[in-house]
Amino acid sequence: MNDNKIKHKILEILAHQNIISGLPDAKNSDIGLDDEVILAKIKITVTKYELLKLSLFEEKEVGRHNPKYILGLYATTKGVHSFNTRKYIIENQNVLKTKVKDIVQIVIPVLSLIITILVIVRNDVKTNKEIETLNHKIEAIQKENKTIVKKK
């Protein structure tokens, strides 16, 4: 999974917790979740999680959740909005579009070059056949001329 999809998954988990924490019959009324709970759900390394968490902190999409002195995260209003608008999914799609565009910009000129070379080779073969045919005709005319000259 790439970073944008993982960020979206983290925000999905936290947005869900944010919403259920406000419900009157919520079993877990904490607005956030412990890092260990989040890590268990997304199944990535702690190092990668910490890097993604820093990115989400920088965007102010998550905040520090620290009940009972256990570190965790909660989704801010901006984070819930980012999840709802699929911010990181759209960013991921834009990255993919850019990669495809870059590949196409490389492949089209290469294919054009290959086609050009094939056309040149084909025309060269065709031209060589035409030249060979003309040479045979010239030889036939020359033989005819020699036989005519001998008869006179």
Domain of residue 40, CATH code? 1.10.10.10
- Categorize the per-residue pLDDT at 92 as very low, low, confident or very high, splitting at 50, 70 and 90: very high
Question: Pick the residue with more confidence: 60 or 137?
Answer: 60
The pLDDT of residue 28 is above 70 = no
147 assigned to some structural domain = yes
| Enclosing H/E stretch for 116 | helix 87-151
98 assigned to some structural domain = no
**81 and 108 part of one domain:** no
**12 and 57 part of one domain:** yes
**22 and 77 part of one domain:** yes
Query: What gap in Å lies between CA 132 and CA 123, rounded to an integer?
Result: 14
In which domain, by residue range, is 115 found? 104-152
Q: What is the mean pLDDT of residues 98-107?
A: 94
96 assigned to some structural domain = no
**10 and 64 part of one domain:** yes
- Categorize the per-residue pLDDT at 133 as very low, low, confident or very high, splitting at 50, 70 and 90: confident
Reading across the β-sheet that carries 72-75, which strands appear in turn?
33-34, 72-75, 62-65
The confidence score (pLDDT) of residue 21 equals 76
What total of structural domains would you count in the chain? 2
Kindly report, residue by residue over 32-90, the tens digit of the pLDDT.
888 888 999 998 999 999 999 999 999 999 998 877 777 889 899 999 999 999 999 99
Q: What percent of the chain has pLDDT over 70?
A: 91
97 assigned to some structural domain = no
3-state secondary structure of 127: helix
**77 and 125 part of one domain:** no
What is the average pLDDT value for the chain, to the nearest integer? 86
